[in-house]
Amino acid sequence: MARINDNFLKLKAGYLFPEIARRVNAYTEANAEAAGRLIRCGIGDVTEALPQAVQKAMHDAVDELGERGTFRGYGPEQGYDFLREAIAENQFASVGISADEVFISDGSKCDTGNILDIFGPGNKIAITDPVYPVYVDTNVMAGNTGEADANGAYGGLVYLPCTSENDFVPAIPEEKVDLIYLCYPNNPTGATATRAQLEAWVDYAKENDAIILYDAAYEAFVQESDVPKSIFEIDGAKSCAIEFRSFSKNGGFTGVRCAYTVIPKDLMGKAEDGSEVSLHQLWSRRHSTKFNGASYPVQRGAAAVFSPEGKAEVAALVEHYMGNAKLLREACEKIGLTVFGGVNAPYVWVGCPEGVDSWGMFDRMLEQAQVVITPGAGFGAAGEGYFRISAFNSRENVEEVCRRIAENLG
């Protein structure tokens, strides 16, 4: 019989969002009437239509593929130049990232997991708590952790607590670590990191030869001009950081699938014999072997996000979702709950009412209000006592959620 990867057996329960879906399905099957009232503010999945500019670019690309003369087969594994160049020019011109440092993919979830392919065993890995569960689970699968304890914390990982006391930005660790996952604007807390905080992380990474894996999937939602959108805005980050970005939340690509990872050519890792190796080259090699590129129509659609029409439409989508976030924040504040996030991120992070834990809150919102939220504990032990409301929804649904919050929790 074939041996399995035993590391999978260390994983706790199901992945968070399918687990939530399972509980919601069980509830709606048992409560057919309530099912019709259900509003989903759990997973951060976009709801509004793709920008017209994106639709047009994708239609045109399909038409091209429909003619022999303009048909294209396999594309470059690292992405088409037209998209890599548009990203470098529109997103990173001021920080000097070049087009060939941008690798196109089909999603940041995949990229943040797959990146472990180019890192060897024995790295000390730091993750924030609460955290996007993908960072933890992929390290478990890769064998980079021990078993989980009763709180779900895995042996071998360095957990960096993010609490209201530290504004959900972790303190620099006292010990030496090799890989650090940071995500700002943060999923799930909606917090942002200041320039000074990111500078401290970059200094730490350089002093300790560590690499920061910076997830900036929500950068488009930053509203305040002093909040950094990229780790590469920090001097020295090109020699110690990888950045992940996505079209999912800004361009509405959660179903279309397109993202990118920036690996500067200056970034080095160490081989077993102590020699320095370019991580850019390793990732390029990995992409060439395991990936055949995102599809041509999808990459054309992604490039259209940077057209003048696309930019205006994305700005309107961001404004819509951030308007939702404001309403959700206000509804929770009005009934006396403690609220974080929702200002530069589409997630509102709310303290549970006295005496209710985060899964208790999930049940209460589902059963009393027919609103799906995400329990904070699903993101890690430090998420206990909180719940997350996603602002990705129609205005009508969000207004209804606000009414139900007032009726059921007020």
Binding residues for ligand MLT, rule: CB under 6 A, are 43-45, 109, 132, 187
Residue number with the smallest Cβ distance to ligand MLT: 44
Cβ burial of 96 (10 Å; 0-12, 13-18, 19+) is exposed
We find the least distance from the C-beta atom of residue 208 to ligand MLT, in angstroms, to be 29
Nearer to ligand MLT, 132 or 232 (CB): 132
We find the least distance from the C-beta atom of residue 132 to ligand MLT, in angstroms, to be 6
Q: How far apart, in Å, do the first and last CA atoms of the chain sit?
A: 57
Nearer to ligand MLT, 295 or 374 (CB): 374
Give the tokens for residue 406: 């007032």
Nearer to ligand MLT, 254 or 338 (CB): 254
Residue of 369, 276, 274, 288 whose CA lies nearest to 331 = 369
Nearer to ligand MLT, 47 or 307 (CB): 47
* Cα 228 to Cα 218: distance, rounded to the nearest angstrom: 12
* Cα 124 to Cα 251: distance, rounded to the nearest angstrom: 35
Residue of 244, 409, 120, 99 whose CA lies nearest to 387 = 409
Nearer to ligand MLT, 50 or 134 (CB): 134
Alpha-helix runs per DSSP H in 279-342: 279-290, 296-304, 308-334
Nearer to ligand MLT, 170 or 383 (CB): 383
We find the least distance from the C-beta atom of residue 281 to ligand MLT, in angstroms, to be 28
* Cα 30 to Cα 239: distance, rounded to the nearest angstrom: 54
Q: Which residue reads 């014999």 in tokens?
A: 273
We find the least distance from the C-beta atom of residue 123 to ligand MLT, in angstroms, to be 23
We find the least distance from the C-beta atom of residue 259 to ligand MLT, in angstroms, to be 10
Write the single-letter amino acid at 54.
Answer: V
Residue of 195, 193, 194 whose CA lies nearest to 182 = 193
We find the least distance from the C-beta atom of residue 236 to ligand MLT, in angstroms, to be 29
